């Protein structure tokens, strides 16, 4: 490992640029701060540097192998003395990043979310910072200000609407201006049990995660069931992997369900 570019990008000895898929690092734009002036960003870069610089690593692939910038998308493991500590899991479990996925790259989503949930429970790192709080769905104006940013939203589903192309979770009766979640028919076809469960959500409080878009009001386009936390979900997040308490950064072992 030769260089850390930012909190989720590294360069290997052979020049390959690797993006740590599944762990979204904080950026100055999250707080509308000047580049280099957002302390959580620097904290994550330091944590990643401490983990990987001058270390032997292994890459694991699943789904998409590259992004639109040509960077390799991979899960990264430290290969040291017979251990395989999972870098993404370590960053998430210690509050240095947030769990997310890209289209065709949601493998290990449950395990990623489990590590994030541990940091949230302990209010570590990002989860003690108000910028990364969960935003109520009925705060449409605040959500619209987050356009283009990755956020968590919570609210009670007022109605579930279905069209030929998608299903919509409406969080008010004014769907033209208030927050909405959209699930494309391709996502529903690939996840029939998830599709069937949506009709039961009216009147239920849920948590969503994703990038805010503007389509009339603010909207999150759900590309994978892991973006929607439903009450008493049968497919709950996995337990966190075994951890080693000897390190200040708290490395975690490889996922319980290997890639």
pLDDT given for residue 1 in this prediction: 63
Each residue of 103-116: pLDDT tens digit? 878 888 999 999 99
pLDDT given for residue 174 in this prediction: 81
pLDDT given for residue 76 in this prediction: 94
Contact (CB, 8 A) for 94 and 124 = yes
Instruction: Report the alpha-carbon angle 106-66-89, nearest 5.
Output: 45
Q: According to CATH, what is the number of the domain 133-229?
A: 2.40.50.140
Identical fold, 3-130 and 133-229 = yes
pLDDT given for residue 177 in this prediction: 83
* Residue 135 CA, distance from chain mean position: 16
Each residue of 208-248: pLDDT tens digit? 999 999 988 999 999 999 999 987 544 444 555 544 333 34
Residue boundaries of the structural domains of the chain: 3-130, 133-229
pLDDT given for residue 6 in this prediction: 95
Each residue of 131-177: pLDDT tens digit? 999 999 999 999 999 999 999 999 999 999 999 999 999 999 887 78
What's the pTM value of the predicted model, to 2 decimals? 0.85
Phi, then psi, of 16 in degrees rounded to 5: -70, 130
- CB under 8 Å to 223, separation ≥6 — which residues? 101, 102, 103, 106, 184, 187, 210
- Architecture category of domain 3-130 in CATH: Beta Barrel (2.40)
């Amino acid at each position: 490992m030769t260089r850390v570019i930012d909190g989720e990008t590294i360069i290997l000895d052979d020049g390959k640029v690797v993006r740590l898929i599944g762990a979204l690092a904080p950026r100055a734009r999250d707080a509308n701060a000047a580049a280099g002036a957002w302390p959580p960003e620097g904290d994550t870069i330091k944590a990643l540097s401490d983990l990987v610089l001058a270390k032997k690593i292994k890459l694991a692939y699943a789904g998409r192998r590259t992004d639109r910038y040509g960077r390799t998308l991979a899960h990264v493991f430290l290969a040291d003395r017979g251990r395989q500590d999972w870098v993404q899991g370590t960053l998430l479990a210690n509050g240095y990043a947030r769990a997310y996925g890209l289209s065709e790259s949601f493998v290990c989503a449950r395990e990623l979310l489990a590590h994030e949930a541990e940091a949230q429970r302990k209010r570590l790192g990002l989860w003690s910072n108000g910028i990364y709080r969960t935003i109520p769905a009925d705060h449409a104006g605040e959500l619209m200000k987050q356009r283009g940013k990755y956020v968590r939203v919570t609210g009670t589903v007022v109605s579930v609407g279905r069209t030929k192309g998608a299903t919509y979770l409406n969080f008010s009766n004014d769907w033209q201006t208030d927050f909405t979640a959209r699930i494309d028919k391709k996502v529903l076809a690939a996840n029939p049990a998830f599709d069937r469960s949506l009709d039961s959500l009216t009147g239920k409080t849920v948590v969503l995660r994703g990038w805010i878009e503007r389509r009339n009001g603010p909207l999150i386009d759900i590309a994978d069931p892991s973006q929607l936390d439903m009450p008493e979900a049968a497919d709950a997040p996995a337990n966190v992997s075994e951890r080693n308490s000897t390190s200040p950064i708290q490395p975690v072992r490889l996922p319980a369900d290997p890639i």
